[in-house]
């Protein structure tokens, strides 16, 4: 009845996004956006009419949103144009809930440790900021961040910005997601100050109360009725305040629903999970990238029994469930299977938290160890200099007693590793963590359990093989086992759980 949707996202991009920066530009031209004339050019450009890549709004890696151009077709300089002395760019503010979360929040990460903005936030708002502030969920979101109405500006005419600060986007639709975005959205969720939901009844987010929108199901009420009989709490998110919507995804009982922008609310939670039903097998890569980075655990499914019907008024497309009871029962079964799987992972997580930990391996000269995606052999490079499409980080699960490390690849897909290009592939490399005294200091090394050889990392050469070849610890064998950041530790934990499950451990 249910089949899994496609998963095309390169999830390594959610791990390896470079450190975000705030760029300073001088004499920038702001071209306003209007939803009345969507084809009119808009964006941020320099004096020669070239778009500022750091401020461009795109989909994927190279596609600009409609209305932007890499170079303006016609550049005109108005000597009487209004000027703004200083502002920080905030991206796009729209009244589409999901797009606002993914096109406006990603540039506000710099506010994470501040009480509020110190300069005006310049935004593109096609419907105008007055309409935005009249929207309850938008006002609530701004209040959680600490932004007041006077902080935002969106000129209706072309203006010159003398000094513009442009924070890198922490997320780009269908392209990448940074852990900084997860850190920021989790902070917002924490500020909601929600009481803990201790009910065992999972939620189901319905669209049947929508008065207008992109997609609707003409007989969704039959699915919801069956789910209520199975113990689900059926809720319509559009009837809830933003804080209440965030609370749905902070429930320990889980949250399911019809896939849409409502599912993006899970970015405000550290451990949301559930099953999302889509109209077809293709799901935006953004959902997978966000889940991987924020710690969400969602299964995206569809059914061939969903058929398109005549479009209902105020909706772009309408669909019908041919077997609504069967769909509901299949959703219940899929969710129960997920809870069973998660219960097993929770047991493993408790065992890890009793003393086990995840680490990265660092050698001399700040070199890290990676896994070659083609050969599966180990290589070493200075952090930030490797080919991210070819090499993935090597991480280790250190046992509770601190004597053993199991090294494995942090690739987005399950990949085995090997000691060198001649050795066989294995799910992980088992090493003893050894200590020795070098120049009066106690240092660590990783000794291969089978060969008795130590891992060697040559400090002078970049992108060089890292292998277990040393018979003693002289210097190149000295390593630091560094704790992973919280977001990356969760990714490493899920990789470890999946690898163990695949190997039947």
Mean pLDDT of the chain: 85
Number of neighbouring beta carbons within 10 Å of residue 158: 16
Query: Out of 24-38, 68-82, 241-255, 392-406, which region has the weakest mean confidence (pLDDT)?
Result: 68-82
- Say what the pLDDT of residue 389 is: 59
Number of neighbouring beta carbons within 10 Å of residue 425: 11
Number of neighbouring beta carbons within 10 Å of residue 430: 12
Q: So where are the chain's domains?
A: 21-169, 192-353, 357-502
Question: Is it the case that residue 407 has pLDDT exceeding 60?
Answer: yes
* Bigger pLDDT: 97 vs 16: 97
Q: Crossing angle for the helix pair 486-502 and 179-191, nearest 10 degrees?
A: 110
Q: What's the pLDDT band for 350 if we cut at 50, 70, 90?
A: very low
- Say what the pLDDT of residue 357 is: 85
CA distances from 352 to 157, 311, 498 (A): 57, 52, 14
Question: Is it the case that residue 117 has pLDDT exceeding 90?
Answer: no
Full-prediction pTM beyond 0.85?
Answer: no
Q: What's the pLDDT band for 9 if we cut at 50, 70, 90?
A: low
Segments of 194-346 assigned E as strands: 203-205, 213-217, 233-235, 255-258, 273-277, 297-302, 306-309, 315-321
Query: Are 334 and 299 within 8 A, CB to CB?
Result: yes
Query: Are 88 and 104 within 8 A, CB to CB?
Result: no
Mean pLDDT value of segment 17-29: 88
Residues in the chain: 505
CATH architecture of 357-502: Trefoil (2.80)
């Amino acid at each position: 009845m249910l089949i899994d949707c496609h998963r095309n996202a390169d999830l390594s991009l959610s791990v390896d996004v470079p450190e975000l920066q705030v760029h300073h530009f001088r004499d920038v031209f702001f071209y306003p956006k209007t939803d009345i004339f969507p084809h009119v050019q808009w964006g941020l450009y320099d004096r020669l009419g070239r778009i500022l890549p750091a401020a461009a709004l795109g989909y994927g890696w190279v596609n600009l949103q409609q209305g932007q151009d890499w170079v303006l077709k016609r550049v005109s300089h108005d000597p009487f144009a209004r000027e703004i002395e200083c502002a920080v760019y905030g991206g796009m503010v729209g009244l589409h809930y999901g797009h606002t979360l993914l096109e406006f929040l990603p540039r506000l990460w710099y506010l994470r440790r501040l009480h509020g903005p110190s300069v005006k936030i310049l935004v593109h708002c096609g419907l105008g900021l007055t309409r935005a502030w009249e929207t309850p969920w938008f006002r609530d979101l701004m209040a959680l961040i600490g932004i007041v109405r006077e902080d935002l500006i969106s000129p209706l005419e072309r203006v010159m910005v003398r000094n513009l600060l442009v924070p890198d986007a922490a997320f780009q639709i269908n392209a990448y997601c940074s852990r900084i975005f997860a850190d920021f959205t989790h902070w917002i969720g924490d500020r909601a100050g929600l009481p803990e939901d201790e009910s065992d009844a999972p939620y189901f987010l319905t669209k049947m109360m929508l008065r207008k929108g992109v997609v609707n199901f003409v007989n969704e009420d039959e699915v919801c009725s069956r789910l209520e009989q199975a113990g689900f709490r059926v809720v319509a998110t559009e009837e809830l305040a933003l804080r209440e919507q965030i609370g749905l995804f902070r429930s320990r009982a889980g949250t399911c629903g019809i896939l849409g922008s409502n599912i993006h609310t899970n970015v405000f939670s550290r451990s949301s999970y559930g099953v999302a039903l889509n109209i077809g097998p293709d799901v935006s890569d953004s959902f997978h990238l966000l889940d991987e980075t924020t710690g969400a655990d969602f299964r995206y499914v569809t059914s061939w029994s969903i058929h398109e019907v005549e479009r209902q008024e105020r909706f772009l497309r309408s669909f019908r469930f041919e077997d609504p009871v069967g769909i509901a029962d299949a959703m219940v079964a899929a969710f129960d299977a997920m809870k069973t799987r998660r219960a097993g992972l929770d047991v493993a997580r408790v065992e890890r938290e009793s003393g086990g930990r995840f680490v990265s391996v660092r050698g001399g000269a700040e070199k890290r160890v990676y896994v070659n995606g083609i050969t599966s052999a180990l290589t070493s490079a200075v952090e930030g200099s490797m080919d991210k499409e070819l090499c993935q980080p090597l991480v280790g699960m250190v046992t509770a007693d601190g004597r053993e490390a199991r090294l494995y690849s942090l690739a987005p897909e399950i990949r085995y590793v090997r000691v060198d290009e001649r050795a066989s592939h294995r799910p992980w490399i088992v090493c003893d963590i050894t200590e020795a005294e070098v120049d009066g200091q106690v240092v660590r090394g990783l000794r291969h359990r089978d060969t008795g050889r130590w891992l060697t990392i040559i400090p002078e050469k970049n992108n060089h093989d890292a292998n277990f070849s040393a018979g003693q610890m002289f210097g190149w064998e000295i390593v630091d086992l560094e704790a992973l950041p919280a977001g990356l530790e969760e990714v490493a934990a899920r990789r470890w759980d999946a690898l163990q499950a695949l190997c039947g451990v």
